[in-house]
């Protein structure tokens, strides 16, 4: 008879994300179905799967929210919505185990910045949401990582065709800073492709 500890260990092992040796053979490809939002005008967002099938990256070229001198009233909030078709090798399905967000921020003393993100499979109610906050003074690269507990990873249903939706938002508030004299901003902008968001796959075999 299995002990409670042994049973728990076996249950955990059944949901453990595959390591690099267990990634599927062949090549994952991703089709960008739609791109919408003030943070990603047409032609300014790119999606690329890793060659080893462990992750895919999203790179933005004009994703910047700002408040203050030189900013338009609507610039304090920028968002981007991506609808992706992830094509995986036959016999496998995927979930997202971790997401790494990166960018640059300049926040005056008293100002604040927010980065929000959510993602889900089309037609499914399970949505992963996360919010990260920063306060000024700040003038540096920023990074945020969202890790999903093993048992909480949501996988694409085997045998179905459901697109993967990603919603990302940047927001800046002037707070006690003076927006008539200063400018604060949060950016996921990358003119040279060096700043990107990375989504790490977790793989499972389909029955």
1-5, 70-74, 142-146, 183-187, range with the lowest pLDDT: 1-5
CATH code where residue 198 lies: 2.60.120
Encoded tokens for 19: 């390591």
Average of pLDDT values for 47-52?
95
Supply the pLDDT for residue 51: 94
Q: Which residue has the higher pLDDT, 12 or 141?
A: 141
Q: In the chain, what is the straight-line distance between the N-terminal and C-terminal CA atoms, in Å?
A: 27
Longest dimension (CA), the chain: 72
Cα angle 68, 74, 78 (rounded to 5 degrees) comes to 100
Task: Kindly state whether residue 24 falls inside one of the protein's structural domains.
Answer: no
pLDDT attached to residue 3 = 40
Q: pLDDT grade, residue 207 (50/70/90)?
A: confident
**Phi, psi for residue 35 in degrees, rounded to 5:** -135, 125
Rounded distance between C-alpha atoms, residue 9 and residue 80, angstroms: 40
pLDDT, greater one: 126 or 185: 185
* Residue 119 placed within a domain: yes
Domain assignment present for residue 19? The answer is no
Place of tokens 């005008």: 41
H helical segments located in 50-182:
none
Specify the residue for token string 């459901």. Answer: 162
- In the predicted model, what is the mean pLDDT of residues 177-186? 97
- Residue keyed to tokens 């995927």: 94
- Print the domain residue range for 34: 29-205
Q: Per-residue confidence at 104, pLDDT binned at 50, 70, 90?
A: very high
Q: Is residue 11 part of a domain?
A: no
Residue 9 located in a structural domain:
no
Please determine, for residue 82, whether its predicted confidence score (pLDDT) is greater than 70: yes
How many structural domains compose the chain? 1
Taking the C-alpha atoms of residue 24 and residue 150, their distance in angstroms, rounded to an integer, is: 19
The pLDDT value given to residue 189: 76
């Amino acid at each position: 008879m299995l002990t409670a500890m042994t049973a728990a260990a076996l249950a955990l092992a059944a949901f453990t994300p595959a390591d690099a040796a267990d990634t599927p053979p062949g090549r994952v490809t991703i089709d960008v179905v739609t791109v919408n939002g003030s943070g990603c005008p047409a032609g300014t967002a790119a999606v690329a799967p890793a060659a080893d099938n462990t992750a895919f990256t999203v790179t933005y070229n004009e994703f910047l929210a700002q408040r203050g001198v030189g900013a338009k009233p609507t610039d304090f909030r920028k968002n981007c919505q991506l609808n992706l078709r992830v094509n995986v090798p036959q016999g496998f399905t995927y979930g997202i185990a971790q997401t790494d967000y990166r960018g640059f921020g300049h926040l005056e003393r008293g100002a604040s910045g927010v980065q929000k993100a959510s993602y889900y499979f089309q037609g499914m109610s399970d949505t992963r949401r996360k919010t990260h906050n920063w306060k000024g003074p700040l003038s540096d690269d920023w990074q945020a990582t969202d890790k999903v507990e093993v048992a909480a990873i949501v996988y694409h249903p085997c045998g179905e065709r459901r697109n993967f939706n990603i919603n990302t938002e940047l927001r800046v508030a002037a707070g006690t800073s003076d927006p008539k004299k200063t400018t604060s901003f949060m950016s996921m902008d990358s003119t040279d492709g060096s700043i990107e968001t990375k989504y790490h796959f977790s793989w499972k075999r389909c029955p």
